[in-house]
Structure 1
Amino acid sequence: MLELYQFEMSHYCEKVRLILDYKGLAYRKIEVTPGIGQLDLYRMSGQRQVPVLKDGNEVIADSTAIGKYLDRQYPDRPVIPTDPKQKGLCFMLEDWADEVLGLNARKAMLAAFSQSPDFRTAALPTSTPALLKNLIGSVPSEVLDVLSFGVGMGPDALHSAKASLRQNLEALTFILLDHPYLISDQPTLADFAVAGLSMYIKFPSGPYLDIPEGLKGKGVPGVADIGTFEPFFNWRDRLYTEYRKSFTPATSPSSSTRPTSIDIE
């Protein structure tokens, strides 16, 4: 069985999960423990980033490389068009989603956690004691802004990311007005890249991700709640409804520091 080494909260991993589900491929999710788990990943793949796909003796790192590999090795339900123009547009839009949409989404999500106590506390596991939730929710946004500035994401950078996201979503909404998908009449690598990389802008509702229930359906204030972008999120919801499989853990969460395995059939 295919093995996907991943972080559940990674939007690049979500891009790969969407492709695997669309192709109807059975796979095992292996949650990589930050730190020690990434050392294991380095020994296997020569790098520390997720996602990594293991198919027998084949080890493929990077979501784009994984998408191309899956189309070569498992050609049913292809995600890369054969028409040259469509193929070029697909690769260009997929790269834009990886390098622009995904980066802006991550910055905007950090801004939302910093500025919105409700968003912060929603990210906590349901088992978190109320006292701790209240404590985390009451941390002044100014303190978190200072921490963000320390890692190169000051208020100006975060504000710029949200402004760019609005432009990104406006463009996508226009493209999808009269088209079922971004490139052709069938979903492509570009569609799954855009859908996966928009996860941080607004987390999908429904039983797709193993994340705190309070996060599902939540989005970046000032972006996800703008009515103009509703057609885009409706389009993404349709992709999930039609192709994404429900999350059903085969085992209970492990307390071990080793990666945990989850079967997706």
Structure 2
Amino acid sequence: MLELYQFELSQYSEKVRLILDYKGLEYRKIEVTPGIGQVELFRLTGQRQVPVLKDGSRYIADSTEIAKYLDSQYPERPLIPTDPKKRGVCLLIEEWADESIGIKGRKALFSAISQNQNFRKSLLPSNTPDVLKNLVEGVPSDVLTVLGLGVGYSPDAIRSAIADLKQDLEALVLLLADSPYLVGDEPTLADFTVAGMSILLKFPDGPYLNLPETIRGKGVPVLAENPAYQPFFAWRDRLYAQYRKPLIGGTTTASPNAPTSIQIE
């Protein structure tokens, strides 16, 4: 069985999960523990970032490379069009979504969790001890602002990211106004990339991510609650309903004994 080394809230991991579900491929999720798990991942693949897909004895890193690999090895329900123009548009949108929505979405979410203590607590893994959840919930917003400065998430950077995301969402609403998908009449890599990158802006309504039910359908208020962008999120949720497999029992598709750090063979 395919194995996906991932972070549950990684947009790039979600992009791959969408692709695997669309292709009807069975896979096991392995949650990588930040820190030591990433060191072990580096020993396996030469890099510390998720997602990484394991197929037999082969490891494929980077969501784009994983998509291309899956299309070559599992060609049923192709992701990348063969028509030259459609292929070019698909690859352009995929790259744009990775670099724009993917990166700026993290900054927008940081803004939301800085302002909402309950939201911040809900995003912690379900197995986080209550004492740690309460500690994280009680961190003052001004402390998070200082922490954000250390990783480039200054108030100006966040405002700029949100302004750019508003334009991105406006563009997507226009592109989807008279088309079921972003490139032609069938879903492509472009659709699954945009959908995956958008999860931090507004979480899907259904049981697709291992998150509390209370935050399904919620997200960055200025984006998730803006009526102008609802056509996009409605399209995204329809894509999920069509192609994304819901979690078994509302929790996870992985084995209940799946490790929380990478096991090296």
**TM-score (normalised: structure 2):** 0.91
CA distance in 1, matches of 2:39, 2:143: 32
Residues 173, 232 of structure 1: 8 Å contact kept: yes
- What is the deviation of 1:144? 1.4
- What is the deviation of 1:128? 7.0
Residues 30, 260 of structure 2: 8 Å contact kept: no
Change (3 A) 1:135 1:3: closer
Q: State the percentage of identical aligned residues.
A: 61
CA distance in 2, matches of 1:243, 1:7: 20
Matches within 5 A, 1:1-265: 1-124=1-124, 136-248=136-248, 249=252, 251-252=255-256, 258-259=261-262
Change (3 A) 1:130 1:58: closer
The runs of 5 or more residues in structure 2 that have no matched partner are none
Equivalent residue letter for 2:70: L
CA distance in 1, matches of 2:152, 2:91: 29
- What is the deviation of 1:198? 0.4
Q: Which moved more, 1:48-57 or 1:15-24?
A: 48-57
Equivalent residue letter for 2:120: R
- What is the deviation of 1:131? 7.9
Residues 124, 212 of structure 1: 8 Å contact kept: no
What SS is found at the alignment partner of 1:192?
helix
Equivalent residue letter for 1:29: K
Change (3 A) 1:127 1:43: closer
CA distance in 2, matches of 1:25, 1:180: 24
**TM-score (normalised: structure 1):** 0.91
**Superposed CA RMSD:** 2.1
Residues 86, 184 of structure 1: 8 Å contact kept: yes
Change (3 A) 1:91 1:217: same
Residues 81, 87 of structure 1: 8 Å contact kept: yes
Post-superposition CA distance 1:204-227 (Å, at most 9, x none): 121111123333211101111100
Post-superposition CA distance 1:71-125 (Å, at most 9, x none): 1111100010010000001001000000111111011000111122332233245
Equivalent residue letter for 1:62: D
What SS is found at the alignment partner of 1:198?
helix
The runs of 5 or more residues in structure 1 that have no matched partner are 261-265
